[in-house]
A = this chain, B = another copy of it.
Amino acid sequence: MISTNEYFEGNVKSLGYTSTTGKSTVGVMEAGEYEFGTSTHETMHVVEGEMTVKLPNSSEWTTYKAGASYEIEANEKFQVKVSEQTAYLCQYK
C-alpha cells in the first residue's frame, strides 16, 4: 500500500512505501520554514529544489541541493527552510 500523508496544513505532503532496505517516503514541501521531529534515524535526500537545514545541536544553516543528503538520529528535531517547492526522499531505519 502507498500511504498519503499531509503535514503543516498540506504544505508538506508525502507518499509512504517500503523499499528493499526499509520504510521510505517521497514528498514535496511548499516554500516555508518547518521543524520536523524524528522517531527513527532518517536519511534525507533532496530530489529536486533545495533545502537549507539546521541540524540538531548545530547553530549553522547548511544548504543541500538536488542530489545531496543529510542524516538525523532518532528522537531529534531539525529545522528546514525551503524557498521553492522542493521534492525529497526520506529513508527510515
CB-based contact B20/A84 at 8 Å: yes
Report the nearest B residue to A89, measured CB to CB: B47
CA distance A43 to B4 in the complex (A): 24
Count contacts on A: residues with CB < 8 A to the other chain.
Answer: 26
CA distance A84 to B10 in the complex (A): 28
- Is chain A's interface secondary structure helix, strand, loop, or mixed overall? strand
User: Which residues of chain B are near A19, meaning CB under 8 Å?
Assistant: 48-49, 84-85, 87
CB-based contact A13/B15 at 8 Å: yes
User: Which residues of chain B are near A45, meaning CB under 8 Å?
Assistant: 47
A1-43 to B contact mask, C-beta < 8 Å, 1/0: 1101000001101110111100010111010000000000000
